[in-house]
Structure 1
Amino acid sequence: MAAQSLVLLLSFLIVALVKQSHGAGIAVYWGQDSGEGTLADACATGNYAYVNIAFLTTFGNGQTPVLNLAGHCDPSSNTCTSLSNDIRACQSQGIKVLLSIGGATGSYSLSSTDDATQVANYLWNNYLGGQSNSRPLGDAILDGIDFDIESGSGQYWDELARALAGFTQQKVYLAAAPQCPFPDAHLSGAISTGLFDYVWVQFYNNLPCQYSSNADNLISAWNQWTTVQASQLFLGLPAAAEAAPSGGFIPADVLASEVLPTIKGSSKYGGVMLWSKKFDNGYSSAIKSSV
């Protein structure tokens, strides 16, 4: 019996270690404020497992794609190619670096399946494992694409996901950043493909489902989101109160005591996403051990 008990205990420990090594992590958005420091500096904090370079603000429907990294660099002057070294530095630490497309104020849309395919080809050749003479971030190969689609219709984003997943020369990680009201108006169809590795839901600037004096609405919405076909689900939060004018900020101690113990029970729990590096002045450090 003692031997059986020991085997059982070892089995539990192995399962626990495997789950831990699979690991929850923190994702962050970087690129929308020149005062947030360099990409390499962000990765060097050791706080992040994923970094979304934000944003490719213009693309699709015949438009010339535009990368907007605020004051960090100017793609039109080819000064963003220097980011290749930073990207490789992040990746050498095991951090996945994705390009975030869309954003709250971008000019983007997809008009057809063919349009989605063209955008996928552009992303592959200019940011992923393909080849182009005009790679805005230089020759570094990003790990994937984040869909932060907040305007327009929900049409053809599923087709874009399928086209990106079709590049077999490289595993293209797919992420999505839907709003917390379920289902998301723009990304529901895309997420339903089951192709997304990470879904970091924006539980902020959304009164019906964000934290507001208690976690009841947030937990209710989180439970709805756990039903989606995605590998991992993340709790998207503002890194400071001023990062989300319409609310949703959760103090680090409250997050650790009231929210994370409940949502971590989900087998799809992947961690926490933060908006954004500009506002993260100690928040990720404060929550890291709880995530």
Structure 2
Amino acid sequence: MASAARASPHPLVSRQAPSSAQNVVYWGQDSENNDLSHYCTSTSGIDILVLSFLYEFGNGINIPSGVIGNSCFISTTGQGQLCDDLASEIATCQAAGVKIILSLGGASGAYSLQSQAQAESIGQYVWDSYANSGNTTVQRPFGDVAVDGWDFDIEVNLGSSQYYQYMISKLRSNFPSDPSKTYYITGAPQCPIPEPNMGIIIGNSTFDYLWVQFYNNNNGLDNIPFESCALGINGGAPFNFDEWESFIADTPSSGAKIFVGVPASTLASNGNSGGAVYYASPDQLASVISEVRDHPQFGGIMMWAAGYSDSNVNNGCTYAQEAKQILLTGAPCGGSVPPPVSSSTTVSTTRSTSTTRATTTTKAPSTTTSSTSPTSTCPVAGGACVAGTYACTGSNFGICDNGAWVIQPCSSGQVCVPDGNSIYCGLSGSSDPVCV
């Protein structure tokens, strides 16, 4: 178990790394012992804090609700209870230059969308309630304090992914009405590509930042036979940052910065010791970041979560401070700049000359059985299908979403390949393309 000691403040060169790489930390669902403003000092090492979560909306509820932190409860009427202190802390953080993003979704929650109209209605409501909207008729849990943007951590699909684009579009349509502030749309997808929960959203929406969760996916997503991925450490699945660059290149999010999402301690990924395989020590994290820090789309590091970082102290630094030091100098607190880590312990470490990593062609067949097996019928956009099925069609793949096929592209130069109970996008020539 990680040390429970608290770190003394560690001096950092500056809040913002010379490369503009940023350190992002989730706060509000991990029983953090410290209030929000504790993470906004000049020595905290944090650039963006994500408030988690508004986790109940849809199914007849058009006002998102949830509990943020240890006391702030936002009801399904939009009323905030015991949120005044949090509002004050948000203002303190923003005055210190730390951006505050409000997250919707989470790994568990009662959320879904049933229509475009509902998505737009909810999007307008969260703008009116949490931005500088000037709307005095809605509940405002944080009073006059406005957040800096909205995060989408959609891990519960329920066949509603296609509607989130309308919520995001509605939010963005309001941005010009407040020229005094820069607002952001961010997302926290899982690392497998295709991404079954947020892939459709990313493919149809404009995100500013994508902090990809490179953990909890050594065997693909639970019950979903997609590509395994992680940080390429501890004998785990390969690091597929390059594939994410390729994936978003042909989407409205082509200009988004991609962040390396990591657990902040050995317990952070899933709350127990079994998740330690996903944890990168500060030295390992420095090696991982050295592989991608020069990529134009590299945005920085994201971690889950503040409380776990506080309990993980090394060389006088919390994990968040370690991450910031890595972004600033290339080395963790008290360390030296390491050589790059191999992207996989079982395949060639040579980087592909394209933006797609060469290890894609060596994916092993899935050992997980699932009812969501690929179909042998070529999918057609909008065609009828059985929920939970997937299919290849040349250089594209189909996901059955709410009873209709949604077609998404593989990365440039790849084809969709069926593999037992799974499908994946592999380099052209790795398998005969299907359905062409």
Q: What is the TM-score when the length of structure 1 is the normalising length? A: 0.86
- Is 1:65 paired with 2:57? no
Q: For 2:151 and 2:292, locate their aligned partners in 1 and report how far apart those are by CA, in whole Å.
A: 23
Contact 1:26–1:272 (CA<8 Å) still a contact in 2?
A: yes
The equivalent residue for 1:210 is: 230
Distance change >3 Å, CA 129–CA 61, structure 1 → 2: farther
* Residue equivalent to 2:142: 137
Counterpart mapping for 1:117-132 below 5 A: 117-130=120-133, 131=135, 132=137
Structure 1 residue 51, shift from structure 2 partner: 0.7
Note if 1:55 corresponds to 2:53. yes
Query: Which residue does the alignment assign to 2:257?
Result: 232
**Whole-angstrom CA distance in 2 between matches of 1:265 and 1:214:** 25
Letter in 2 for 1:27: V
DSSP-derived class of the 2:25 partner:
strand
Which amino acid in 2 is paired with 1:41? H
2:288 alignment partner in structure 1: 259
Q: Offset of 1:59 from its aligned partner?
A: 1.2
Larger proportion of helix: 1
Q: Deviations over 1:121-161 (max 9, x none)?
A: 11011111222441122221001000000012322111111
Corresponding position: 1:29 with 2:26: yes
SS of equivalent residue, structure 1 residue 200: strand
C-alpha contact (below 8 Å) 1:57/1:65 kept by paired residues: yes
DSSP-derived class of the 2:307 partner? helix
Equivalent pair of 1:80/1:138 in contact (CA under 8 Å):
no
CA distance in 1, matches of 2:37, 2:60: 34
Whether contact under 8 Å (1:157, 1:187) holds in the other structure is no
State the Cα distance separating 1:61 from its structure 2 match: 3.4
Which of 269, 272, 277 is 1:244 aligned to?
A: 269
State the distance in 2 between where 1:72 and 1:149 align.
Answer: 24
- Distance (whole Å) between structure 1 residues aligned to residue 187 and residue 257 of structure 2: 11
Q: Hey, what's the Cα distance between the residues in 2 that align with 1:160 and 1:35? A: 30
CA distance in 2, matches of 1:283, 1:222: 22
Partner of 2:152: 147
Are the equivalent residues in 1 in contact too, given 2:72–2:86 (CA < 8 A)?
A: no
- Number of corresponding residues: 270
User: Residues 80 and 290 (structure 1 numbering): CA distance in 2 closer, same or farther, change over 3 Å?
Assistant: same
> Is residue 2:108 matched to residue 1:105?
yes
Find out whether 1:288 has 2:324 as its counterpart: yes
Q: Secondary structure of the equivalent of 1:26?
A: strand
Q: Secondary structure at the residue paired with 1:35?
A: coil
In the other structure, the counterpart of 1:162 is 169
* In structure 2, distance between residues paired with 1:20 and 1:35: 26
Query: Aligned to 2:183, which of 172, 178, 185?
Result: 172
Q: 1:179 to 1:289 in 2, by over 3 A?
A: same
- Give the CA deviation at 1:214: 5.1
Alpha-carbon offset, residue 263 of structure 1: 1.2
Does the aligned pair in 1 maintain the 2:59–2:112 contact within 8 Å?
A: yes
Sort the Cα spacing of 1:20 and 1:136 in 2 relative to 1 into closer, same or farther, 3 A.
Answer: closer
Where does 1:3-22 land on structure 2 (aligned, <5 Å)?
21=18
In the TM superposition, residue 204 of structure 1 has moved relative to its aligned partner by: 1.1
- After the TM superposition, which of the residue ranges 128-137 and 107-116 deviates more from structure 2? 128-137
Counterpart contact for 1:28–1:276, Cα < 8 Å: yes
In 2, Cα distance between equivalents of 1:190 and 1:36 = 34
Corresponding residue of 1:4: none
**Structure 2 CA distance, aligned partners of 1:20 and 1:104?**
30
Check whether the contact 1:237–1:272 (CA below 8 A) recurs between aligned residues: yes
In the alignment, the residues of structure 2 paired with residue 49 and residue 181 of structure 1 have an alpha-carbon distance, to the nearest angstrom, of 26
The 1-side partners of 2:300 and 2:22 are apart by 5
- SS for the counterpart of 2:32 is helix
**Kept after mapping to 2: 8 A contact 1:161/1:190:** no
Q: Which has the larger radius of gyration?
A: 2
- Once the two structures are TM-superposed, the CA of residue 112 in structure 1 deviates from its matched residue by 1.0
State the match for 2:241 in structure 1: 222
Aligned to 1:199: 210
CA distance in 1, matches of 2:211, 2:184: 13
Pairwise CA distance, 1:98: 0.7
Distance 1:69 1:267 in 2: 34
User: Is residue 27–residue 69 contact of structure 2 (8 Å, CA) maintained in 1?
Assistant: no
Rounded to whole Å, the distance in 2 between the matches of 1:223 and 1:215 is 17
Residue in 2 that maps onto 1:9: none
Deviations 1:185-238, CA, capped at 9 Å, x for gaps: 1211222245111000001111121134257701xx111111212421000000
- Kindly indicate whether structure 1 or structure 2 has the higher relative contact order, using CA contacts under 8 Å at least 6 residues apart: 1
Q: CA separation in 1, counterparts of 2:325 and 2:70?
A: 32
Q: 1:89 aligns with which of 89, 92, 100?
A: 92
Matched-pair contact (CA < 8 Å) for 1:202–1:237? yes
Structure-1 separation of matches of 2:111 and 2:255 = 24
> Relative to 1, partners in 2 of residues 1:274 and 1:20: Cα closer, same or farther, differing over 3 Å?
closer
Aligned amino acid, residue 263 of structure 2: P
